[in-house]
Structure 1
């Protein structure tokens, strides 16, 4: 989506629990195999006691306070997630809005799995341009990958899952400025890859019908046995090229633009990033420095993009006039790229 004008990002916040399950402990407890731990490359995964929506409320409160924005000034509230939100048939977005005191804006849920946070930012941007009176869009994410329904070390190939929540405010640029500026956001999908998370399983009448915990290894193995890795690898390379090139073009930047300081990776396993992401990025993003910010948290479900934006801002990584590409992807499959800058 080409933005008619840049938008401000204010108060980007990542609420990540302090409790960690270290890779060393997981190895000693037999919860991950030695070769798998080496391929994942995480030092630890974040582990929460709170439910996902409770974490989202905490992240959102910090975001609003940091931005100096009242809940009553939020024109739309979007919440994205990947995994279970704590109740079987229930709206987490409405709970979050009610807890925050957002009563005059419609809460909206966005479930595009790991790419949900990026999708919510893109949808929020569109809403702000369609309804300028809304002024502020609040985007939250939250996921908790707790047992017994999820095995954070073994439910997937190439990814370890950490708990946490994020929040940010998207708004038109004004005299008050912004922490970061969203200059472009682009998304591409390859729907033919949906079977990677369906495999050969029949449609079932209830959750976890086929196994006691979510098992993406089983479904991916079935896909790979039928199709091999080539279709996924080709689609990922092509779609990443597409979203990066489109974002650079929309922002008026070239591949080797001196202002392009960073490319920020999703918080996936080390081997997955090295094999599927880094070669494709290098072909279209020039010599920008690669940032991998997820070694101590793990993959935060729908929250990787906003968590990476929060770290870009909180650590002061971008200087005035510099830009970063924030890359993300999710099952389905979908790839997104946010191009952000510092005023």
Structure 2
């Protein structure tokens, strides 16, 4: 979708302290071969922080950085992958009350696996284009906890990290202009994350979720090459649509914000598919925080801007992918390098933030 007069006005993250991968190996929590294969350096691990609290911390900073008032926000989308701290509870409404106060806004959760923040960005872009609303807030927050999830051994080639991110989209102004968004899906691949697992009345939290087993069950019936072919086709289609709507070429992109996968998975599923160089991506930073559930792309863009790894005029592509499968891309042009205020006193939780 080609976008008109849509900007990213503010982004922020909340990141708890990170555990060195070598320490996790020494502690016997992470297999040495898996550590070598993923080439991760460290992974963020929350302690007492609940996901909604981390989301609130990031959202407050993003809103302050955006220059918007709370009552400018007409839409709040909270994307997440894992348990948010309480069942049968509207997490988005908690974030709404804590960050925006009591003014009316549409707030709801987006559950689209690791493509959550990108799906939310696409939804928000479409909503703002179709209404007189001025601004939208996208938040993410995820935290994995035992025994339900064994962080270091629950997946193949991916290690989840804890943290939150937030982005304010605006029709007025911002540091980056959104030129296009696109979303493509291929539900024939949904079984990769289901395997042979049956549907049950409820999840038993004492039984660890084993994505390794599910994926191996799927790959026992479907060749990895066939999965990879369809995956790359979906991603390439998504990227082509975003480039076409932005009226640019892939070679015009200066930096790519990619999911925080391990090195082998990133190479097979993203870099080889698009024939892009690792040095043009956010890999060097992503490998220090882990896969932030639904929030890699907002966090990655924020890192590029804060570290001045982009310049005014640069084109950046945000690449999202989630189980199911869906792919979402956004092309943005950096129009300003903002001097954001420091984190507000009391806006964070003990231990992290950027």
> Which structure 1 residue ranges, 4+ long, deviate > 3 Å from structure 2?
285-288
Gaps of 5+ in 2: 336-354
Query: Do the aligned residues in 2 keep the contact of 1:46 with 1:163 (CA within 8 Å)?
Result: yes
Query: Do the aligned residues in 2 keep the contact of 1:255 with 1:286 (CA within 8 Å)?
Result: no
1:256-335 pair list within 5 angstroms: 256-257=251-252, 260-282=253-275, 289-292=280-283, 293-335=285-327
RMSD of aligned Cα (Å): 1.6
1:9-28 pair list within 5 angstroms: 9-17=8-16, 19-28=17-26
Query: Do the aligned residues in 2 keep the contact of 1:83 with 1:143 (CA within 8 Å)?
Result: yes
Partner of 1:238: 233
Report the number of matched residues: 332
1:62-81 pair list within 5 angstroms: 62-81=61-80
Partner of 1:131: 131
Using the size of structure 1 for normalisation, the TM-score is 0.93
How many angstroms does 1:230 deviate by? 2.4
Gaps of 5+ in 1: none
How many angstroms does 1:44 deviate by? 0.9
CA distance in 1, matches of 2:150, 2:279: 35
Partner of 1:122: 122
After alignment, is 307-316 or 79-88 more displaced? 307-316
After alignment, is 60-69 or 313-322 more displaced? 313-322
Using the size of structure 2 for normalisation, the TM-score is 0.90
Distance 1:4 1:325, change over 3 A: closer
CA distance in 2, matches of 1:167, 1:286: 27
Query: Do the aligned residues in 2 keep the contact of 1:71 with 1:102 (CA within 8 Å)?
Result: no
**1:243-281 CA deviation, whole Å, 9 max, x = no partner?**
111111111112333xx2112221111111122211111
1:119-268 pair list within 5 angstroms: 119-132=119-132, 134-172=133-171, 174=172, 177-208=173-204, 212-257=207-252, 260-268=253-261
CA distance in 1, matches of 2:111, 2:142: 12
